[in-house]
Amino acid sequence: MKIIDGGVCAAKGFKANGIHCGIRKNRTKRDLALIYSEVPASAAAVYTTNLVKGAPLIVTKKHLENGVAQAVICNSGNANTCNANGVEIAEKMSSLLASELNINDQDVVVASTGVIGQPLNLQVIADGIPSLCAGLSENASNYAAEAIMTTDVVAKEVAVEFTVGGKTCRMGGIAKGSGMIHPNMATMLVFITTDAKISSSMLAQAIKSDVQNTFNMISIDGDTSTNDMVTVLANGMAGNDEITTDGEDFNEFMKALNSITVSLCRMIAGDGEGATKLLECSVTGAKTLKDAKTVAKSVICSSLTKAAMFGADANWGRVLCAIGYSGAKVNVNKIDVAFKSANGTISVCENGSGVAFSEEKAKEILLEKEITILVALNDGEYSSKAWGCDLTYDYVKINGDYRT
């Protein structure tokens, strides 16, 4: 498996585009994205568990009941959530696009991100769809990646090449992380494309299983959005024998999928609102997988730990505290904690008690942009990772102060 360029257009038969249609006032900011497959593709998705759901998710869920899709349309600047006519608008977006592309209405994945509780102006989308489709290109993954950004600082795309049953396959993805347009909440959207041939039921199994250890292990601020969605389209154009069961081919597919999702997770976490650092919590030695995940997530979600990492402060007591209240079954007296970055690794806590360490060396390690918090529970065989970011002045600024 190797990393390649091309994002969601890396896989054979996929094109993309992103334009400014007018949902946003800033004319230099693209706000409407399109991903298109030359042929109908197996499709699967996972959705937010928030009871308050964006209208596009309701429509997409219905469209994906048959496991087939051919295009993804997504606007930024308005989440189309908590609007009385939201479902109607999302359905209309789908049918306008389907008609322009001459594909089936039901084969459209529709998504929105941005302001909630404000009417979405369908007219500007309708007006933009012809040029959106006309501009479809194999080199425009970055336009789509840009068009789904809200306050993301960095456009997020990644692609890999891998082999299934002797055939070269490709897979790529784009994502938006936590962003904010007033009055909005963080929304995560991920669109993945591949030319590998796989049945829609195996594709659904793959993505459902993968997100448990990837996107479900990110936290920027603990607020589960109303519009989170991850979708995968697999159009089969790589020509491999269709993956219809577990086995070696499926394993290769899962490996590729996991490399895409982990990359996007790290990008989303590192570009969290106001973030200056990517944090990874790596837990080993847990009694159960659930305990490992609970501990990793608890450390990553701890506001006190996140603020300490912002200040490059080796405040391991906060890590131990977050483990202690996580709900996981741990033996406190066996826990080791260390901090790691490109500048080295430093042990700060052994057997649940502090050890002498160089504050200077710790500072040097924690001033890096990517920090791993190593937690060894020394009480079992299970491990897990979670990703997040530091808590900064800019998080507060973006989310509280920008109107005053």
Residues that bind a copy of itself (CB under 8 A): 48-53, 81-84, 115-118, 182-186, 221-226, 301-304, 306-318, 320-325, 330, 332, 349, 352-354, 390-393, 395-404
- Taking the chain, what is the end-to-end CA distance rounded to the nearest angstrom? 49
**Do 249 and 341 meet the contact criterion of CB atoms below 8 Å apart?**
no
The number of beta carbons lying within 10 Å of the beta carbon of residue 154 is 12
- Label residue 134 exposed, middle or buried (CB < 10 Å: 0-12, 13-18, 19+): exposed
Cβ distance to a copy of itself smaller for residue 284 or 315: 315
Cβ distance to a copy of itself smaller for residue 316 or 387: 316
Task: Report the candidate in 203, 160, 231, 218 with the shortest Cα–Cα distance to residue 1.
Answer: 160
Our answer to whether residue 187 is catalytic in this structure is yes
236 phi/psi in degrees, rounded to 5? 75, 5
Work out how close the CB of 182 gets to a copy of itself at its nearest, in angstroms, rounded to a whole number: 7
Cβ distance to a copy of itself smaller for residue 237 or 275: 275
Work out how close the CB of 390 gets to a copy of itself at its nearest, in angstroms, rounded to a whole number: 7
Work out how close the CB of 338 gets to a copy of itself at its nearest, in angstroms, rounded to a whole number: 14
Total residues found in the chain within this entry: 404
Cβ distance to a copy of itself smaller for residue 200 or 326: 326
Cβ distance to a copy of itself smaller for residue 183 or 247: 183
Work out how close the CB of 285 gets to a copy of itself at its nearest, in angstroms, rounded to a whole number: 16
CA angle 71, 120, 40 (to 5 degrees): 10
Can you tell me the distance from the alpha carbon of 40 to that of 36, in angstroms, rounded to the nearest whole number?
Answer: 9
Q: Name the H helices within 214-327.
A: 248-270, 289-301, 303-310, 316-324
Can you tell me the distance from the alpha carbon of 305 to that of 155, in angstroms, rounded to the nearest whole number?
Answer: 27
Supply the DSSP string of 335-355, one letter for each residue: -EEEEEETTEEEEEEETTEE-
Can you tell me the distance from the alpha carbon of 384 to that of 295, in angstroms, rounded to the nearest whole number?
Answer: 9
Work out how close the CB of 320 gets to a copy of itself at its nearest, in angstroms, rounded to a whole number: 5
Cβ distance to a copy of itself smaller for residue 289 or 321: 321
Catalytic residue among 187, 261, 294, 372: 187
**Do 168 and 2 meet the contact criterion of CB atoms below 8 Å apart?**
no
**Do 113 and 179 meet the contact criterion of CB atoms below 8 Å apart?**
yes
Work out how close the CB of 321 gets to a copy of itself at its nearest, in angstroms, rounded to a whole number: 5
Can you tell me the distance from the alpha carbon of 351 to that of 316, in angstroms, rounded to the nearest whole number?
Answer: 13
Work out how close the CB of 297 gets to a copy of itself at its nearest, in angstroms, rounded to a whole number: 12
Cβ distance to a copy of itself smaller for residue 103 or 321: 321
Q: Just list the catalytic residues.
A: 187
